[in-house]
Amino acid sequence: MIKSQVIKTGAKRHWAVLPLAIGLISLAACGSISSSLPTTTTTSAAETVPGTTQYTVGTFANGVAEELIAPSSSPPGSNIWNCKPTSTHPYPVVLVHGTFANAAFSWQALSPMLANAGYCVFALNYGQTIPGPIYGTGEISQSAQTLASYVDKVLTATGATKVDIVGHSQGGMMPRYYIQNLGGATKVNMMVAIAGSNEGTTASGVGTLASDLAKATGLSFSDLGCTACDEQEVGSTFITNLDSGPGGGTSPSVSYVNVESKYDEVITPYKNAFLPAGPNVQNLTVQNYCSTDFTEHIGIIYDPVTLGLVVNALGANDPNYKPPCSVVLPVIS
């Protein structure tokens, strides 16, 4: 769900978090994502043929820096509106951040990787209700409306018939509302969710605690500006309605790929990131590919195993693909 990062409050963890707090501590320690991923020199964004310009693949530290310095900026290689898809990659990729996040933080690695590989890449911000560099807090159905308009803009600009969507946390679940309720089923080829809040979350107990406090005090996350936080709790009306349709809330014309880490502390239990098994559904656990990968909810969008799985899904979708495996630390990946 939630792009949801983790903020420490005493002995408690807040389940929907701004990455800045941890990021400031991690900046000096954060290294490159993986030597196996492309690292090239950023050049002009005037490209019209995808893949002809090469962009530097960023790290978690780069994401934090962009969120602090230029939160409304586009990730490298994205939002080039004269980009035309190729026959090899006919579907533009739309990147959707999570709760309390923005595009600048979330996609400093994946956006340039995809652009370098020849994709037209687009990334939006949505659902802002709290001043500052954070988004994804508004009512999810309204955020899905924003996504619907954005996808239409991408299709018009590129001339493509459909898009692929990659989302993190809430961004891995919210597009399903667009697909199911706003006509997205005819405009989306593949939905790739990274630690998506598909089945809701207890958020390591914080979500349950918040629900109990709301009953006792009458105050909820919505009262604090984050309707999306309430809507992503296990058993919420929003999640229940979303998942109650055929196929557990999936469309037979769309392919769904869900990537999750068993160490996710925000989407709990972690298998809530998955969707019911079906011919058009893949549920992938990071540690099944690399047992020494300890990435969790924050770092997973900079995790080399996850990034490899996402790129494979959008491309060859080879079931025998083996991503790079090394020791991956939590948060900074």
Q: What is the pLDDT of residues 198-215, one digit of tens each?
A: 999 988 756 555 565 566
Residue 112 belongs to a domain: yes
Residue 198 belongs to a domain: yes
Residue 331 belongs to a domain: no
282 φ/ψ angles, rounded to the nearest 5 degrees: -120, 130
Residue 320 belongs to a domain: no
Nearest alpha-carbon partner for 108 in 162, 166, 67: 67
Residue 324 belongs to a domain: no
Give the CATH number, domain containing residue 249: 3.40.50.1820
Q: CA 251 to CA 189: how far, in whole Å?
A: 10
* Predicted local distance difference test score (pLDDT) of residue 35: 35
Name the token pair of 9. Answer: 């409050």
Q: Which residue has the tokens 């090469």?
A: 54
- Whole-number Cα distances in Å, 279 to 51, 167, 186, 322: 32, 21, 18, 21
Residue 30 belongs to a domain: yes
Q: How many distinct helices (H) and strands (E) make up the chain? A: 11, 8
* Predicted local distance difference test score (pLDDT) of residue 221: 77
Residue 2 belongs to a domain: no
* Predicted local distance difference test score (pLDDT) of residue 208: 59
Q: Which helix (H) or strand (E) holds 26?
A: helix 20-26
**What's the structural domain count of the chain?**
1
* Predicted local distance difference test score (pLDDT) of residue 104: 97
- Whole-number Cα distances in Å, 12 to 15, 169, 299: 9, 20, 20
Q: Which helix (H) or strand (E) holds 190?
A: strand 188-194
Cis amide leading into 279 (omega within 30): no
Q: CA 103 to CA 146: how far, in whole Å?
A: 14
* Predicted local distance difference test score (pLDDT) of residue 15: 36
Q: CA 1 to CA 15: how far, in whole Å?
A: 10
Where in the sequence is the domain holding 188, given as residue range(s)? 7-314
131 φ/ψ angles, rounded to the nearest 5 degrees: -60, 145
* Predicted local distance difference test score (pLDDT) of residue 202: 87
| Spans in the chain with pLDDT lower than 70 | 1-48, 205-219
Q: CA 183 to CA 270: how far, in whole Å?
A: 29
Residue 330 belongs to a domain: no
> Can you say whether the dihedral through the CA atoms of 238, 244, 245, 248 is positive or negative?
positive
Q: CA 234 to CA 243: how far, in whole Å?
A: 11
* Verdict on whether the full-model pTM lies above 0.95: no
- Whole-number Cα distances in Å, 222 to 12, 197, 225, 240: 20, 18, 5, 18
Nearest alpha-carbon partner for 76 in 119, 139, 14, 127: 119
* Predicted local distance difference test score (pLDDT) of residue 205: 59
